[in-house]
């Protein structure tokens, strides 16, 4: 397929050239030469560092250095509320607000390395809390606001978060009943001002704390290896994994945005990802600010008309979004896009799931520009593989490795050994040579799981892929049973565990069922305990039960009853078999299937 796949530039000749009136020269023009000349030490030199050699702090690079320079009065964050109001924060504003937040933490005795969890939608306080936390040397731990109590509880407890920043509504809906089972939590800082919540112990109102706090804060010395960000991700088994990143990650956030998102100093950037997921932090908060850009944040959920209006009215120049959203826009039709004009739009990028070739091409139809797919994951902290602005796009391919990133396709040869697959167009596991700055430094409290990621000098990504003759990488699928739904990674085990807590459920197996828009939807197969009858009422009850506990982002959308769930002789659920049966595919090797 890679060799014969037509390139976009062949189908749309204008693709290989700068678009429209744009005279902007891409940052990466000569791929081979840039790769050969690139070093992470040099990338580090593009950043400032704390004054007087006191180290490297993400918030200094993102905010304070611009607030002290000629970008002081530039809009850093342009926030669009759900109800249509707008708030702009200049770099100077953001510096003051984040300093106040850091002082609030300090006054509460929250210090270096202490995890500060934030459970909120895309509201300004989330961004202020994230950067203020980093200023204070504490660890920013975002929690997706569409999580239910169960995923929130497990994540706060794994993180041992001492502080939670959230809204009154989310507190009432998801936290209040959990308080007794969150032992590490000392302070809850509420964004709203509901008087009845005021009386609860440990609950404070952020606004009044901020009003009393000083707007000056000196960032303490920060070692580049100090913990900064804790992002949760999912595996096939066990609890969610807390991937820890350090302040040095900012070197990669900055450099990768320059290459893969083609940031230029006057860009107005819109990353549609929620900071509850890694893209929304690395590129939704940090990278646009380290570059001194204006970053647009929309509080509202997806809406095709609204998105087109934002692209037009905010004069977005660089837009970073996700395949599910693009597929939803495609459903609304290119004509809807064509009712708007996007003269400022220069570069379109996508991440999080495979981007269909049709979607790349549809970008041209709707915006006169293709989408540039890129690949990375929570553990890598930043973009690793990308289709670059100056290079031909191969629709369906993730692109080529970034400067400073060495990628290989490997094959497992025995328990703890791999060999590198040199032959092009050969499937294997996508592997990366460790050493880039935003690489995770561990899974919190799970050294064993971390160690298992490294074999033969490579970090194994868990993705299957192949490389074509020209060095473009093509995604094939996950090597494990993790589910990707609307761009979010979901661990089947987390869903099965909650279903098993329902009194009617004896066994549960969870798979990702292919979906034309969301890529996959979570589907559960359930075997009932004796005395329970499979029927529609019970199905609805189980769906509701899971939704309340897990939240809309994680809960199954479909449930089927089965007399038993296939397991191997070691008792492990054979999700692959469930999936094959669901899709009517060959069942593969079932020699280990336990007789049931």
Return the number of the residue (55 or 276) whose C-beta is nearest ligand AMP.
Answer: 276
Nearest approach in angstroms of CB 105 to ligand AMP is 27
User: How is residue 564 written in tokens?
Assistant: 């038993």
Return the number of the residue (462 or 534) whose C-beta is nearest ligand AMP.
Answer: 462
Q: Which of 95, 219, 255, 489 binds ligand AMP (CB under 6 A)?
A: 489
Build a one-symbol-per-residue string for 225-264: x at contacts with ligand AMP by CB under 6 A, - elsewhere: --------x-------------------------------
**Concatenated DSSP letters for 22-67?**
--PPPS---HHHHHHH--HHHHHHTS--SGGG-B--HHIIIIIHHH
Nearest approach in angstroms of CB 335 to ligand AMP is 27
Contacts of the segment 24-30: beta carbons below 8 A, 24+ positions apart: 24/262, 24/264, 24/346, 26/262, 26/388, 26/389, 26/390, 27/258, 27/259, 27/262, 27/263, 27/264, 27/389, 28/258, 28/259, 28/262, 28/388, 28/389, 28/390, 28/391, 28/403, 29/390
Instruction: State the Cα torsion 331-337-339-344 to the nearest 10°.
Output: 170
Return the number of the residue (138 or 461) whose C-beta is nearest ligand AMP.
Answer: 461
Return the number of the residue (310 or 465) whose C-beta is nearest ligand AMP.
Answer: 465
Q: Which of 143, 278, 310, 495 binds ligand AMP (CB under 6 A)?
A: 278
Nearest approach in angstroms of CB 476 to ligand AMP is 9
By CB under 6 A, residue 144 contacts ligand AMP: no
Return the residues of window 316-375 that contact ligand AMP according to CB under 6 A.
351-354, 373-375
By CB under 6 A, residue 96 contacts ligand AMP: no
By CB under 6 A, residue 284 contacts ligand AMP: no
Nearest approach in angstroms of CB 380 to ligand AMP is 8
Return the number of the residue (61 or 373) whose C-beta is nearest ligand AMP.
Answer: 373
Return the number of the residue (98 or 461) whose C-beta is nearest ligand AMP.
Answer: 461
Nearest approach in angstroms of CB 279 to ligand AMP is 7
User: How many residues interact with ligand AMP (rule CB under 6 A)?
Assistant: 20
Q: Are strands 115-119 and 163-166 parallel, antiparallel or unpaired?
A: parallel
Instruction: Sheet containing 268-271: give its strands across.
Output: 86-90, 75-80, 294-298, 268-271, 318-321, 347-351, 371-375, 385-386, 400-401
The three-state DSSP-derived secondary structure of 118-137 is EECCCCHHHHHHHHHHHHCC
Rounded Cα gap, residues 59 and 294, in angstroms? 16
Return the number of the residue (119 or 322) whose C-beta is nearest ligand AMP.
Answer: 322
Nearest approach in angstroms of CB 122 to ligand AMP is 18
Nearest approach in angstroms of CB 145 to ligand AMP is 16
- CB distance 174 to 145 below 8 Å: no
Rounded Cα gap, residues 179 and 174, in angstroms? 10
- CB distance 355 to 349 below 8 Å: no
Rounded Cα gap, residues 144 and 88, in angstroms? 24
Nearest approach in angstroms of CB 379 to ligand AMP is 7
Nearest approach in angstroms of CB 127 to ligand AMP is 20
Tokens 């590129």 belong to which residue?
A: 283
Nearest approach in angstroms of CB 473 to ligand AMP is 9
Return the residues of window 191-230 that contact ligand AMP according to CB under 6 A.
none
10 Å CB burial of residue 449 (0-12, 13-18, 19+) is: middle
Return the number of the residue (7 or 22) whose C-beta is nearest ligand AMP.
Answer: 7
Return the number of the residue (280 or 292) whose C-beta is nearest ligand AMP.
Answer: 280
Rounded Cα gap, residues 404 and 43, in angstroms? 10
By CB under 6 A, residue 398 contacts ligand AMP: yes
Return the residues of window 440-469 that contact ligand AMP according to CB under 6 A.
461-463
Q: How many residues does the chain have?
A: 596
By CB under 6 A, residue 378 contacts ligand AMP: yes
List interacting residues with ligand AMP (CB under 6 A).
233, 277-278, 351-354, 373-375, 377-378, 398, 461-463, 475, 478, 484, 489
């Amino acid at each position: 397929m890679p060799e014969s796949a037509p390139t976009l530039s062949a189908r749309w000749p204008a693709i290989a050239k700068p678009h429209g009136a744009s005279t902007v020269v891409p940052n990466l023009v000569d791929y081979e030469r840039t790769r050969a000349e690139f070093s992470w030490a040099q990338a580090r030199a593009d950043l400032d560092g704390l004054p007087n050699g006191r180290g490297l702090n993400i918030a200094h690079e993102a905010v304070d250095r611009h607030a002290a320079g000629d970008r002081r009065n530039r809009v850093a964050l342009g926030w669009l509320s759900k109800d249509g109001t707008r708030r702009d924060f200049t770099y100077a504003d953001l510096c003051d607000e984040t300093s106040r937040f850091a002082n609030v933490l300090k006054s509460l005795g929250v210090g270096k390395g202490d995890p500060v969890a934030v459970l909120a939608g895309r509201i300004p306080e989330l961004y202020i809390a994230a950067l203020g936390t980093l200023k204070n040397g504490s660890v920013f731990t975002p929690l997706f606001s569409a999580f239910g109590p169960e995923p929130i509880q497990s994540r706060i407890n794994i993180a041992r978060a001492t502080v939670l920043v959230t809204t009154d509504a989310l507190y009432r809906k998801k936290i209040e009943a959990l308080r007794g089972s969150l032992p590490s939590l000392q302070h809850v800082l509420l964004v709203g001002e509901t008087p009845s919540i005021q009386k609860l112990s440990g609950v404070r109102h952020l606004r009044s704390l901020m009003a009393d706090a000083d707007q000056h804060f000196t960032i303490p010395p920060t070692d580049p290896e100090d913990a900064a960000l804790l992002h949760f991700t999912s595996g096939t088994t066990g609890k969610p994994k807390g991937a820890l990143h350090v302040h040095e990650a900012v070197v990669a956030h900055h450099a990768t945005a320059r290459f893969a998102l083609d940031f230029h100093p006057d860009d107005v950037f819109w990353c549609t990802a929620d900071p509850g997921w890694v893209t929304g932090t690395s590129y939704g908060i940090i990278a646009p600010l380290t570059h001194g850009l204006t970053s647009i944040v929309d509080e509202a959920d997806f809406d095709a008309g609204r998105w087109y209006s934002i692209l037009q009215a905010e004069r977005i120049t660089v837009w970073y979004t996700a395949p599910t959203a693009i597929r939803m826009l495609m459903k609304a039709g290119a004509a809807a896009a064509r009712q708007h004009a996007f003269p400022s739009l220069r570069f379109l990028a996508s991440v999080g799931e495979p981007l269909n070739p049709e979607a790349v091409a549809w970008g041209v139809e709707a915006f006169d520009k293709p989408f540039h797919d890129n690949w990375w994951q929570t553990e890598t902290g930043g973009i690793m593989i990308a289709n670059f602005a100056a290079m031909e796009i191969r629709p369906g391919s993730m692109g080529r490795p970034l400067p400073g990133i060495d990628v290989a396709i490997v094959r497992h040869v025995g328990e703890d050994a791999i060999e590198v697959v040199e032959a092009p167009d050969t499937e294997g596991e996508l592997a990366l040579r460790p050493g880039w700055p935003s690489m995770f430094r561990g899974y919190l409290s799970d050294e064993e799981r971390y160690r298992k990621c490294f074999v033969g000098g490579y970090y194994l990504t868990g993705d299957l892929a192949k490389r074509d003759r020209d060095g473009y990488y093509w995604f094939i699928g996950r090597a494990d049973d993790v589910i990707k739904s609307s761009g979010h990674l979901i661990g089947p085990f987390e869903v099965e565990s909650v279903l098993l807590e329902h009194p009617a459920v004896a066994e549960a197996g969870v798979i990702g069922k292919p979906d034309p828009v969301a890529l996959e939807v979570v589907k559960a197969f359930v075997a009932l305990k004796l005395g329970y009858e499979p029927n529609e009422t019970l199905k609805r009850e189980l769906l509701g039960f899971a939704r309340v506990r897990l939240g809309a982002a994680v809960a199954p959308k479909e449930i089927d009853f089965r007399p038993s769930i296939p397991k191997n002789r070691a008792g492990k659920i054979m999700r692959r078999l469930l999936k094959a049966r669901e899709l009517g595919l060959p069942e593969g090797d079932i020699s280990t299937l336990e007789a049931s």
